[in-house]
Amino acid sequence: MSHPQTTFRQTTFKGNSVLSRRRKTVSRTTVHAQLEQLRSTGRYDCFKLEWHPIYADKSMWPVPFHLFWDSDIAKWIEGACYFLVEDYDAEIDKTIRELVEMIRGAQQEDGYLNVHYTVVEPDKRWSNLRDMHEMYNAGHLIEAAVAHQGYYHDNLLIEPIEKYVAHIRRRFGPGEGQLRGYPGHPEIELALFRLYKATGSTDAFELAQYFLTERGNPTGQDGKHYYDWEMEKRGEISWQRPDAYPEHGTLWYCQADSPIVEQKTIEGHAVRANYLLTAVADMLYLSKEDGRPIPNAEGWSEALHRLWDNMVDKKMYLTGGVGAIKQWEGFGIDYFLPQGTDEGGCYNETCVSIAVMMLAERILHLDLDAHYADIMELCLYNTVMTAMSLDGKAFTYVNQLGSTEADKSVREEWFWCACCPPNLTRLFGSLGGYLWDYGHEESNIFINVHLYTGAELTFDANGLPVTLQQKSNWPWEGKVDFQLSAPSSLRVIIRLRLPAWSKGAYVLAPFPQPGTVKVEKGYICLYPAYVSENPSFSLEVLDFEPRYLSPHPYTNQRTLTLARGPIVYCVEDADNPWETNHFKDVFLRTDSKVTEKLVTDEETGEEYVSLKSKCWKQSISTHASLKADGDSAAPRDLIFVPYYFRANRGGKGQMRVGLMNGGIESGVIFPERL
Amino acid sequence: MSHPQTTFRQTTFKGNSVLSRRRKTVSRTTVHAQLEQLRSTGRYDCFKLEWHPIYADKSMWPVPFHLFWDSDIAKWIEGACYFLVEDYDAEIDKTIRELVEMIRGAQQEDGYLNVHYTVVEPDKRWSNLRDMHEMYNAGHLIEAAVAHQGYYHDNLLIEPIEKYVAHIRRRFGPGEGQLRGYPGHPEIELALFRLYKATGSTDAFELAQYFLTERGNPTGQDGKHYYDWEMEKRGEISWQRPDAYPEHGTLWYCQADSPIVEQKTIEGHAVRANYLLTAVADMLYLSKEDGRPIPNAEGWSEALHRLWDNMVDKKMYLTGGVGAIKQWEGFGIDYFLPQGTDEGGCYNETCVSIAVMMLAERILHLDLDAHYADIMELCLYNTVMTAMSLDGKAFTYVNQLGSTEADKSVREEWFWCACCPPNLTRLFGSLGGYLWDYGHEESNIFINVHLYTGAELTFDANGLPVTLQQKSNWPWEGKVDFQLSAPSSLRVIIRLRLPAWSKGAYVLAPFPQPGTVKVEKGYICLYPAYVSENPSFSLEVLDFEPRYLSPHPYTNQRTLTLARGPIVYCVEDADNPWETNHFKDVFLRTDSKVTEKLVTDEETGEEYVSLKSKCWKQSISTHASLKADGDSAAPRDLIFVPYYFRANRGGKGQMRVGLMNGGIESGVIFPERL
């Protein structure tokens, strides 16, 4: 089936679920607030190709402040188009039309379309693919154009964009006279696959395939690595490098140190890595679906799974956050997962978790394993949802697990590098496409349900209408009621994800006859015999009890985190105002009882389950022996709230996800001083 | 009193102590083995100013392989001169004379004396003080010259070196027409203070004082930071930077981001930081001793203690190792003390711990507090001693607390950057000077005993001979017998360090009369009344029982390490051949009994106390829940050996200092996969 950014149109969110409320906030508030930011910062008018004072700012190198403005506009258009589908807004409609006019007007005769290299450095086009984001911006323009066409059904945006793609395609590729370049920041690859699927352009497919295949070629251009070749042409030596490159020749930063199929571990900038792998997964899926065999498909598939496993097993926080290291906004070594700045990391950019969701969604088409949907859900309800305030007006870029005085738990209205906020808009706009997948499978119709909420899916199967409705109070309760409406001539298979944290415990009602239901790779497969007999059925995922999570011991994080269903919890000073040191000295014991309570927050109106347990606090001095006085110290009540809920109620900005497990054992602390 | 590199001549090591044996090995073997390396690598002849093929190698930037050759020769000369004092060797004597001739011959007419900038880039002298080590090399030549004069009592080396110092002094300083430069790698400062003390040259004192004061001045040269000014002159932009500079403008790398007195925390390259602070301490001490008031002495003193405390309390491993980060061979953030490469750090360069010893020794002259001597001893017996094999022929540069397959626990015969091996030679050569300090104090003679071993101190007090002998089996036993021989006309105060790990428990015999002994800042002060009555006395430092150390909880290292007296222990596969994963999955319990045994190693002849306890091993998989099966798993015997003893007996190179404390608690490990 197609991309979630297309199929979301078949889904309508129903009821008052967390997801539905959040989508309404984005539609009614966020889209407008972000537009206001675009206007006030100068971005809105950038495609007019007039000079803006910020263009003269040379304090950053090589990337100036305005380099991603093209993509900020494109991502906003894309997200806004998604929301127009079910929540029409005349102002937004008018604004999109105006922006599209400006973009059309900004295109150069030869098809080139980029603000910086038209206004600021017109003689340096394509001279620094490694750092300068021309293709990244192009990729977002492509995605905007596909979304625009999907809503407006006209060619006003896709026409100039296809012209731009043709321009790029002429310049770069494996042919004679072409340059062997590829983008430093992947994005255009996944965009080109979407363009291919939307328009059938095999040029787009082939260009994306070329970018993926050429990447990391050590001798691609005149016997040199492309990035070395272009660097030499710019007259730079490799010790002259952006701040994100800790050492010279840090090509792993942009996943270009070796061809993708040879990469052993996932490294570097985490958004780039996940956009890249999303494209790889899509290439594998589309080539299978459309019968376009690609060379070494097995090698690509192995690399995809190898890099995914490395990320999820060894480089992912239990919030779904990814990318511990601030300097290169990316991956540290295996198991390096400190909770905050004071421990040396925990960057966890919002865009990465959105990208992980995109990647997981693509992999589910290749390998229907609940693990991928588990991660998709984990990211959604935790690192992604925590990145926006409940009022829809403030955002995070970095999503730490523990605050410090230097980096409090707060949100901002905008960022100079504004990738995250409009990415949230795009994701929430197309979220319906992530809930489920559907299509034909031999003589059956299938619906694979990945995420539970209140929603209705409607699609056309061989000209016949199929509707599946799900109703639930997820993520607070595990009961989901389904109602299928499909012509009796259709054989329908429904697969329901069973999250790993449920440990496989569920109740299906009506109770299935033998042979009509089977669990495969974490999906409960309801065969046509069951479905036709029971168009109304309900699933209850069990084990919604609060549970303790501990990171892998090799992380050296001997902490406890409470989770319940897909929701990871944190503690905040808003609920625990006695705390003064960001909960660093607070510990839990696994044998303390945890109680839960359904709360409606007065100020925000948010409804959620809060948790309560006991904690102890130790005084930890700089040196001298520590007394193991945890046992004798009086326990306090500790209130936990969902991580996504943090930083919505004022307070001192003190927050922590993982709390010390069991206190500090006796034993002498070094250095000993008399 | 004077520097340990001078006063060591008053000390004779006696008996068969660990220190005495090691000194003999260095004298008989190491000095020769290092000379052989100097010869075979081309260093030996470098002052002939002939071309060497390695000079053409441009693969490293900006520092070429041979840049420190001057200092390698200088440090070897310095160390060799120390050993000639009590262990004359005709070959070494002849070699030193030959090298000195070559150095003299290498000096340019104007006094300049540097191999690289005479042979390779003669037109670029002093163009890159930040990176190119001209002054660092000069500093080591100064130290060699002082040592040479101390042994040979001639001016053959010190004469050209003083000429070179005058050359530098003309060029750099606060006067009109002078450049406001200072060395990127501090070392010359402490060397100049030694030169001042040896020759009385106030020029040397003032030049060092200038270097310390000017360092970090943001507007020193033409309104700019000197390093920015010279960088611009070289035509570089700040994003062009050595690999040790993670981001552009990383001036903290060489402690030049702000004036020293304003620095809040100790940062950057750890050898540089400790050489620099050694000079600061010496400046404070010498200015007091010689009545040369320096501006803002209080501010300097506060900075010295502030940076020391930051290092020792928050950035030092319990082996005395310092400098967790490989990239800049230096400090990480507070409490970032991972045990090995797989955890992201643990560089702990050998030279740093030698520098910490030098610094601690200097601070003891300013502030007689046993804490500084504790750290000096900790470094000596652990990070420093572990850096040389028992045969004296192999060395470490990096001193991790836990090995990995990528970085096994091994030693090398030499390094391209060979700072550490000859630094060990220098230290062991002058070690006698670190044991104790002595001098006049009002109408008394004092002897402050910092380190215990078998040794004799002899000095002249107002023309009268004083001798103090100490005999002990330290570091294995705490009993130390002293014998003072001094004319009865002298009032002698003896102060004996009481290590912090003794928790103040000691026995002094004969038992003192009231008022004749007092403990101050960790030193047992024996007043003249006691000393004159008891020229023979003995100290027994108690609490030599094995003890468990745990790093500060903020390190996230919830590990246990065994220590006994000043010795920190490790486990090795040589004693525990069942281990296959570098002891990462092995845990201890504090309630397990520890037994000790005096061992003589068959192969090496080394005598030491080994420890034995129980351990448990857990199997830790990548994902899926961990079972807390530690309790049910059968315990194994685990043999511990001194950390300094590691990697002397073959084996697989698996070693660890800190072992998991108490096993992994139950609790679910993320990610959960069904």
Mean pLDDT of the region A209-224: 98
Residue B571's contacts (CB-CB under 8 Å, 6 or more residues apart) are B579, B583, B586, B638, B639, B640, B641, B655, B656, B659
Position A670 scores a pLDDT of 63
Closest CA to B664 of B566, B542, B558, B541: B558
**Contact call for residues A327 and B247 (beta carbons, < 8 A):** yes
Task: Determine the CATH number of domain B436-497+506-541.
Answer: 2.60.420.10
pLDDT tens digit sequence for A261-274: 999 999 999 999 99
Residue A618 pLDDT level (bands cut at 50, 70, 90): confident
For the record, the structure tokens of B203 come out as: 């020029």
The answer to whether residue B671 scores a pLDDT higher than 70 is no
Burial B583-604 (b: 16+ CB within 10 A, else e): bbbbbbbeeeebebeeeeeeee
Mean pLDDT of the region A483-505: 95
Q: How far is A312 from chain B (nearest CA, A)?
A: 7
Weakest-pLDDT range from A137-141, A474-478, B668-672: B668-672
Residue A200 CB neighbour total at 10 angstroms: 11
pLDDT tens digit sequence for B465-510: 999 999 999 999 999 999 999 999 999 999 999 999 999 999 999 9
Q: Which residues of B touch A247 (CB under 8 A)?
A: 243, 327
Residue A12 CB neighbour total at 10 angstroms: 17
The answer to whether residue A667 scores a pLDDT higher than 70 is no
Q: How far is B338 from chain A (nearest CA, A)?
A: 9
**Contact call for residues B467 and B458 (beta carbons, < 8 A):** yes
For the record, the structure tokens of B280 come out as: 């600061």
The answer to whether residue B621 scores a pLDDT higher than 80 is no
Chain-chain contact of A318 with B671 (C-beta, under 8 angstroms): yes
pLDDT tens digit sequence for A87-99: 999 999 999 999 9
pLDDT tens digit sequence for B114-168: 999 999 999 999 999 999 999 999 999 999 999 999 999 999 999 999 999 999 9
pLDDT tens digit sequence for A349-383: 999 999 999 999 999 999 999 999 999 999 999 99
Mean pLDDT of the region A589-610: 93
pLDDT tens digit sequence for A511-553: 999 999 999 999 999 999 999 999 999 999 998 999 999 999 8
Position A216 scores a pLDDT of 98
pLDDT tens digit sequence for B575-613: 999 999 999 999 998 888 999 999 999 988 999 999 999
Mean pLDDT of the region B208-229: 98
Secondary element (H or E) of residue A519? strand A517-520
Q: Which residues of A touch B501 (CB under 8 A)?
A: 672
Residue A177 CB neighbour total at 10 angstroms: 7
CA distance A580 to B72: 52
Position B619 scores a pLDDT of 74
Residue A619 pLDDT level (bands cut at 50, 70, 90): confident
Q: What is the DSSP letter of B412?
A: B
pLDDT tens digit sequence for B548-563: 999 998 999 989 999 9
Position A630 scores a pLDDT of 46
For the record, the structure tokens of B629 come out as: 């099966």
CA distance A150 to A152: 6
Chain-chain contact of B664 with A242 (C-beta, under 8 angstroms): no
Percent of chain B with pLDDT over 90: 91
Option in B314, B371, B590 nearest A666 (CB)? B590
pLDDT tens digit sequence for B86-107: 899 999 999 999 999 999 999 9
Query: How is chain B split into domains, by residue range?
Result: 4-11+21-434, 436-497+506-541, 548-661
Position A591 scores a pLDDT of 87
Going from the C-alpha of B261 to that of each of A143, A197, A574, B552, the distances in angstroms are: 55, 64, 40, 28
Residue B662 pLDDT level (bands cut at 50, 70, 90): confident
Residue B627 pLDDT level (bands cut at 50, 70, 90): very low
The answer to whether residue B635 scores a pLDDT higher than 50 is yes
Q: Which residues of B touch A240 (CB under 8 A)?
A: 236-237, 239-241
Mean pLDDT of the region B74-78: 98
Mean pLDDT of chain B: 95
Position B590 scores a pLDDT of 86
Chain-chain contact of B622 with A313 (C-beta, under 8 angstroms): yes
Position A1 scores a pLDDT of 56
Position B77 scores a pLDDT of 98
Closest CA to B10 of B446, B461, B455, B459: B459
Mean pLDDT of chain A: 95
Percent of chain A with pLDDT over 70: 96
Residue A625 pLDDT level (bands cut at 50, 70, 90): very low
The answer to whether residue A69 scores a pLDDT higher than 80 is yes
The answer to whether residue B279 scores a pLDDT higher than 70 is yes
Residue A84 CB neighbour total at 10 angstroms: 20
The answer to whether residue B26 scores a pLDDT higher than 60 is yes
Residue A2 pLDDT level (bands cut at 50, 70, 90): confident
Weakest-pLDDT range from A137-146, A379-388, A664-673, B615-624: A664-673
Q: How far is B222 from chain A (nearest CA, A)?
A: 21
Position A671 scores a pLDDT of 61
- Chains A–B, number of C-beta pairs less than 8 Å apart: 191
Position B634 scores a pLDDT of 85
Mean pLDDT of the region A461-485: 96
CA distance B81 to B144: 8
**Contact call for residues A314 and A553 (beta carbons, < 8 A):** no
Position B628 scores a pLDDT of 41
Domain B4-11+21-434 has CATH 1.10.1660: no
Q: Which residues of A touch B548 (CB under 8 A)?
A: 667-668
Position A590 scores a pLDDT of 86
Q: Which residues of B touch A500 (CB under 8 A)?
A: 671-674
**Contact call for residues A387 and A424 (beta carbons, < 8 A):** yes
Chain-chain contact of B553 with A335 (C-beta, under 8 angstroms): no
